[in-house]
């Protein structure tokens, strides 16, 4: 394979990789100021600043009992705490050290395949990066999908809790009813919180662990409401009723914005892909027309400038179509 072809394939691979990273995220972003205020509020209510970290470590070590000593020692490495929580949020059951091993194996396979196909160090490096990234993007996709589903279920869960409290159930049993009445993932997460309370965990820490497992403004609002009510008193049923209505209205607003912004998001994909499609058409239909780009010094500068411009453009478009609500 010629050097020109290798350079062209490298540019296409890099552009597709950046395009996937930039545009694969949800169109909606949570308001940073709201997130900051809610975290500050919870920080004021938290006695132990390491609660979230303790919760993450506890989650990671829940399944260590059935592992071999070697696997247990690998999975207990502190460096894997954040990764295991990330995997936990995706709903996957793979252990963190196995995920790392899988990423390394996928990266090596991609590098070997790229070297056999192109005999280029650059392509081998891109194959290594691309292969190693595949497991991460799979976990990231599953995590986003699971958290979105959790948010959709949250108003129904709050309604179940509200009705249970109105019927005279204690708060712990209200969480248990959510586990029984609704489907995963919210049943699983509320079930873990109920289990922590059943085994004697402090309610504040159990709720903050729930927030650590499900990082969301809506969950922050729920946790904050419950903790404030437990500290200062008030009608929890009325609070939950208003919160459920607020979250439902927020989702209606999300759907409306998503509909109105559909044209802009489609335009972002088209604008990002058109240069590469036209380049490929010219490459295969009029090969000699593009030769100066690869053979002349000015052509190399144009390729470099075009690549940088595409990276900046993709990043800028991804920022424009991301709406904070």
The per-residue pLDDT for range 24-36, each reduced to its tens digit, is 444 444 555 555 6
| Mean model confidence pLDDT for the chain | 76
Query: Is the N-terminal amide bond of 185 cis, ω within 30° of 0?
Result: yes
Q: Which of 26-40, 71-85, 285-299, 301-315 has the weakest average pLDDT?
A: 26-40
Q: Is the pLDDT of residue 147 over 50?
A: yes
Examine the domain organization and report whether 178 and 323 are in the same domain: no
Examine the domain organization and report whether 240 and 276 are in the same domain: no
pLDDT for the residue numbered 9: 56
- 261 token code pair: 């912004």
β-partners of residue 28 are: 323
Assess contact for 67 and 94: CB atoms under 8 A.
no
Q: Which of 1-5, 80-84, 126-130 has the weakest average pLDDT?
A: 1-5
- State the average pLDDT over residues 230-246: 85
Q: Return the SS3 of 156.
A: helix
Examine the domain organization and report whether 265 and 151 are in the same domain: no
Assess contact for 203 and 195: CB atoms under 8 A.
no
Rg of the chain on CA atoms, in Å = 25
Higher pLDDT, 123 or 32: 123
Provide the pLDDT confidence category of residue 118 given band limits of 50, 70 and 90: low
Examine the domain organization and report whether 303 and 174 are in the same domain: no
Examine the domain organization and report whether 290 and 164 are in the same domain: no
DSSP letter at 233 equals -
315 in a domain, yes or no?
Answer: yes
Provide the pLDDT confidence category of residue 50 given band limits of 50, 70 and 90: very low
| pTM of this prediction exceeds 0.85 | no
Q: Is the pLDDT of residue 206 over 80?
A: yes
Q: Which domain holds residue 134?
A: 30-245
Provide the pLDDT confidence category of residue 40 given band limits of 50, 70 and 90: low
Examine the domain organization and report whether 23 and 157 are in the same domain: no
pLDDT for the residue numbered 49: 46
Tell me how far apart the alpha carbons of residues 16 and 136 are, in angstroms, rounded to a whole number: 16
Residues near 116 by beta carbon (within 8 Å), at least 6 away in sequence:
none
- State the average pLDDT over residues 256-265: 76
Among the listed residues 153, 135, 129, the one whose alpha carbon sits nearest the alpha carbon of residue 90: 135
Assess contact for 147 and 214: CB atoms under 8 A.
yes
pLDDT for the residue numbered 55: 45
């Amino acid at each position: 394979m010629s050097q020109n072809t290798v350079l062209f394939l490298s540019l296409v691979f890099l552009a597709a990789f950046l395009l996937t990273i930039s545009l694969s995220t949800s169109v909606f972003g949570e308001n940073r100021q709201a997130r900051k205020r809610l975290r500050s509020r919870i920080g004021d209510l938290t006695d132990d600043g390491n609660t979230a970290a303790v919760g993450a470590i506890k989650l990671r070590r829940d399944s260590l009992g059935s592992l071999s000593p070697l696997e247990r020692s690998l999975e207990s490495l502190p460096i894997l705490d954040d990764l295991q929580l990330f995997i936990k949020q995706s709903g996957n059951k793979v252990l963190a050290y196995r995920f790392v091993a899988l990423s390394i194996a996928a990266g090596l396979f991609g590098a070997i395949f790229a070297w056999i196909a192109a005999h280029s160090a650059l392509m081998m490096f891109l194959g290594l990066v691309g292969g190693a990234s595949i497991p991460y993007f799979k976990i990231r996709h599953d995590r986003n999908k699971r958290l979105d589903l959790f948010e959709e279920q949250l108003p129904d869960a709050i309604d179940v809790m509200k009705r249970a409290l109105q019927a005279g159930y204690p708060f712990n049993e209200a969480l248990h009813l959510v586990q029984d009445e609704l489907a995963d993932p919210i049943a699983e997460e509320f079930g873990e919180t109920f289990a922590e309370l059943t085994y004697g965990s402090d309610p504040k820490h159990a709720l903050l662990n729930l927030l650590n497992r499900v990082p969301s403004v809506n969950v922050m609002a729920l946790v904050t409401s419950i903790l404030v009510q437990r500290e200062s008193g008030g009608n929890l049923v009325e609070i939950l009723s208003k919160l459920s209505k607020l979250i439902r209205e927020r989702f209606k607003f999300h759907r409306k914005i998503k509909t109105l912004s559909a044209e802009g998001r489609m335009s972002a994909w088209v604008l990002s892909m058109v240069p590469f499609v036209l380049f490929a058409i010219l490459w295969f239909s009029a090969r000699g027309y593009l030769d100066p780009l690869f053979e002349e010094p000015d052509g190399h500068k144009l390729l470099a400038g075009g690549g940088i411009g595409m990276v900046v453009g993709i990043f800028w478009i991804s920022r424009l179509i991301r709406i904070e609500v």
